[in-house]
Every structure is written in C-alpha cells, then in structure tokens.
Amino acid sequence: MSHVFHRSLQQTYPVAVSGEGVYVIDNQGKRYIDACGGAAVSCLGYDYAPLKTAINAQIDKLPFVHSSFFTTDILEQAAEALVNDTNGVMSHVYFVSGGSEAIEAAIKMARQYFVDTGKPSKRYFIARKQSYHGNTLGALSLGGNEARKAPYKDILIGANHISACYEYREKQPDESAEAYGLRAANELEAEILRLGAENVAAFVAETVVGATAGCLPPAPTYFKRIREICDQYDVLLILDEVMCGMGRTGTLHAYTQDGITPDIQAVAKGIAAGYQPLGAVFMKAFIVDAIRQGAGFFQHGHTYICHATAVAAGLATQRIIKSENLLDNVVKQGDYLSQRLHEQLADKPYVGEIRGRGLFKGIELVADKASKTPHDASLPIASRIRAVAMDNGLMCYPIAGTIDGVNGNHVLLAPAYIIQAHEIDEIVDKLEKTITTVMDGIA
C-alpha cells in the first residue's frame, strides 16, 4: 500500500522512472508522450543534459543559503538576466517556489504598495470568473474555478469577479472582436466604480487563461482598454503568467503580444522547466521605490525564497531557450500543432473551438456544436479523457471547467518548446483516438 497522500484517493498511478526528450517512461517500460508539459511546466523535456549540469554545478558550489543572511552570485545573475529581458519594463524580480506563492506575493505587494503610499483604503482585488491563480487561500480566492473553491468558501478572503474575455461564448454574432474586447474590458470600469476606486488595489488576470477555460487568448483590444482603466483609477494591473508566460505563447512574456505592460507579473512553471520548483514576481520600479521609501521591507517571505539551486535552474533554462532559439520553435511548431488539430479534429461534432497561441492550445468540447451547449456536468468527460489518454500513452490536460455555472469541458495542450513535427503528429493521432473513444462511449 502506498503511504503517499496522492491528491486523488481513488486513482492508482503508473510509476514514472525516467524521461527521454518529451517522453516519460514508467516501470513497465511504457512510453507516454507529454502533450501538456505536465501542467505547462516541462518546456525542455525530461533529460536536457546542459540543464542538469547547471543544476549540479550549483549544488556542488552552494545548494542553499538563507536569503535573510546573504545574496548569491547566481541570484544576482538570474535577476539581472530576467529583468534585462523585459527591455526596461521591470526593475526587480522576487524569487519564490511556485505559482501560488508568486500570486500570493503579488497580492501582498500590491496591498503593501498602497499602505506604503498612504492609501490604505485601497484593499479590494478584482479578478475574473474564468481564472485560476493557485491553491493557497489568497490565490484561490481570486480564482474563478468554483469547484476548487467549494470546500473552502467560508475561509476565503473576499474577491470581486468580472467576466473573462471569452470570444467563443460571449461575443455577439454581429459584434467585431475589437468591439467585444472593449465591452468585456469595460466591465472592469463598472466594477471599480461599484466598489469605489479609492477602495480597489488591483486587477488580476491571466494574460492567456489556462486551467479553467482550456487556453483562452484575449480579444485584440481587451488588455489595452484594461490598462487604460487601471491607469485612470490608480488600480495596479497584476498579470498572472504562471502558465502562459516564459515563452509558452511564442514570446517570452505573453503580454507583449497585447501591446501593454503590467505593474506586477507572476511567473512560474516554465521558468525552470520543472527541473526545480521556482516562481518569480516581476515588478516595476515605482513599486520598489514606494516600498523602499515606505516600510523599507516587504512584509512577506518564505524559507525558500531566492533558493540558489532553483534559481540556477531558472537561469540555465532561460539561457538555453535563448541560445537554442527555442521561441522560434514555439512559434513554428505552434502553427503546425494548430494546423494538425484543425485537420484532424475541427470537423468532429463535439469540437466547439480550437484556439491558442504558440505551444499553448485549447480544445473546447461541446454537446452541440451549433448551439455551443456544453456537456452535462454529471458526465465524467475530463476524467475519462485523462484515463484513456494515459492508456494510449498520451499525457494531455483535460479540464472540467465552469462557464457561469454550467459545465464546460476542454483539453489543454502545452508541449515542450523542443517538440518536433513528428512528435506533434503522434500527439494529434493519439488525441483524436482518445477523444473519439470517450465521446463514442458517452453517445
């Protein structure tokens, strides 16, 4: 009997023993092609030798030193490299151990910014209904995934939610994408006015939504209008790029494709390719200056912030992505993945939409294509897809999300940045086989 407290107490898991490129191999020798990077984490595959060497070199030198006593060369180098890559947008970076911690730190940083600048009434956060920001209590409160929140509802902090920018479901047939983007963004203004601008600290959004809506890029005008509204009402813009950032969408930061910059940005997952647990919070200079002149100290921290080995993995990952021009491959193979998904899946009666950016794709599954009606919430579609995919030697990320309370099923794909065309062919073949088996089973 396993003494590991696995999240699912009903499931048994194969035992992974090794990795080879984009494949995970279990103790029976079975190979699984990873089409989702685990959860959009594994961007260099599972046996990238130069990355392992960089991590081992840091362990040999100095694996860990507590950040309240020292800084380290590796920490300074990683921060400098990451900040330089923002082309002057960000001035500092705070290293944590994962996405939820990054969001938690971002929430507190926004709040402390207003306390330190003499505006303590600014304490409310606005987020969106289709969103996931992590599982710690603050991050969970911001998220819109009702199922994940349900058991903890009574102990969450208050957060206010507006609609996500969801063209497939919310754009009117006679409305342009541009007009819809503005309309969706204007919900933020209405919510700020409802709460009182003097009470609102920040708006938090995933630049491209991941785990609740199977990859949802914003309409073209959306974030420009969001930025204007935030500036007008002195509300900080926090972008959660934990899943969509660090190259996943074809640019290092997803927000550059929307022509805006956030005040605070959370990243994790791909930053260290999963070889070490690492997250980071970027911030603009005015935030740092305010905290420096205010408390002079960020009232938030964890034992493993600025962890030398994790940061070494992050720096090495970013250097590899650059030196191997992997963002070019993300764009090229992302286009190929779109093409192959459209060729093989778009005509299926249960495929509502295929969307995404770079190597970040979502497939929305529907019960009725014409009316876009989601499947009945009681059907275990997501869990069946996961199980059948694993039988077929495929790792994909099925999502049973919620669309204003109605169930909606999606499959998220986020393969490694090193993926090649023949591996994409294998993914799409196995995915078609998997989804067809599951859908035939429920028909």
Binding footprint of ligand PLP on the chain (CB under 6 A): 39, 98-100, 103, 132-134, 206, 210-211, 240, 242-243, 268
Report the residue number whose CB is nearest to ligand PLP. Answer: 99
CB of 276 to ligand PLP, least distance (A): 12
Rank residues 98 and 334 by Cβ distance to ligand PLP and give the closer one. Answer: 98
CA 333 to chain CA centroid, Å, is 20
What are the distances in angstroms from CA 238 to CA 70, 171, 226, 296?
29, 25, 11, 21
For ligand PLP, the closer of residues 395 and 439 by Cβ is 395
* Dist. CA 407–CA 145, nearest whole Å: 11
Shortest Å, Cβ 73 to ligand PLP: 26
Nearest distance in Å: CB 238, ligand PLP: 11
Helix 326-345 and helix 421-442, axial crossing angle in degrees, nearest 10 = 40
User: CB 47 → ligand PLP: shortest distance, Å?
Assistant: 22
Q: Are the beta carbons of 135 and 148 closer than 8 angstroms?
A: yes
CB of 99 to ligand PLP, least distance (A): 2
Question: Which residue in 220, 221, 258 sits closest to 239, CA to CA?
Answer: 258
- Whole-angstrom distance, CA of residue 226 vs CA of residue 187: 9
User: Whose Cβ is closer to ligand PLP: residue 99's or residue 366's?
Assistant: 99
Question: What are the Cα distances from residue 95, in Å, to 276, 290, 346?
Answer: 12, 19, 41
Q: Which two tokens stand for residue 164?
A: 């996500």
Closest separation between CB of residue 211 and ligand PLP, Å?
5
* 440 vs 443: CA distance, rounded Å: 5
130 vs 428 by CB, closer to ligand PLP = 130
d(CA 208, CA 249): 9
Q: Return the number of the residue (246 or 381) whose C-beta is nearest ligand PLP.
A: 246
Q: Which is nearer to ligand PLP, 216 or 290 (CB)?
A: 216
